[in-house]
Amino acid sequence: MPKITVLPHATLCPEGKIIENAPVGESVLDILLEHDIELEHACEKSCACTTCHVIIRKGFDSLEEPTELEEDLLDQAWGLEADSRLSCQAAVADEDLVVEIPKYTINHAREHH
């Protein structure tokens, strides 16, 4: 089973995290949430927003191609890069992943603690 390395993020995961034995076929978002990384997902994982946008720094090519809907949404994401994905749509395959959580999302209505 692959591992997911989450790069440090100032508020969600300051130390970064290594998740061993990530279940193949499960979304990156679900795995992060299960490991107490509270990545935003305003549309409840229905591929209708960009708040769960992540950048796949390693292992991007192992993921299934994004759908046209996902690509259209990603065009609206803050800090879009060639290796950007919506984590609710990116299912873990058989390769290790390195995931970066962008500093910002376009959901400005979010309450900050």
Interval 30-63: pLDDT, tens: 999 999 999 999 999 999 999 999 999 999 999 9
The pLDDT score that the predictor gives to residue 106 is: 63
Which tens digit of pLDDT belongs to each residue from 69-83? 999 999 999 899 999
The pLDDT score that the predictor gives to residue 7 is: 98
Pick the CATH number of 4-100 from 1.10.800.10, 3.20.20.140, 3.40.190.10, 3.10.20.30: 3.10.20.30
The pLDDT score that the predictor gives to residue 100 is: 98
- Predicted TM-score (pTM) of the model is 0.91
DSSP structural state of residue 13: B
The pLDDT score that the predictor gives to residue 78 is: 87
The pLDDT score that the predictor gives to residue 107 is: 58
Q: Is the pLDDT of residue 93 over 90?
A: yes
Who contacts 37 (Cβ-Cβ below 8 Å, separation ≥6)? 6, 12, 13, 17, 101
A 10 A CB-CB count for 72 gives 11
Query: Domain ranges in the chain?
Result: 4-100
* Cα first-last separation, the chain: 35
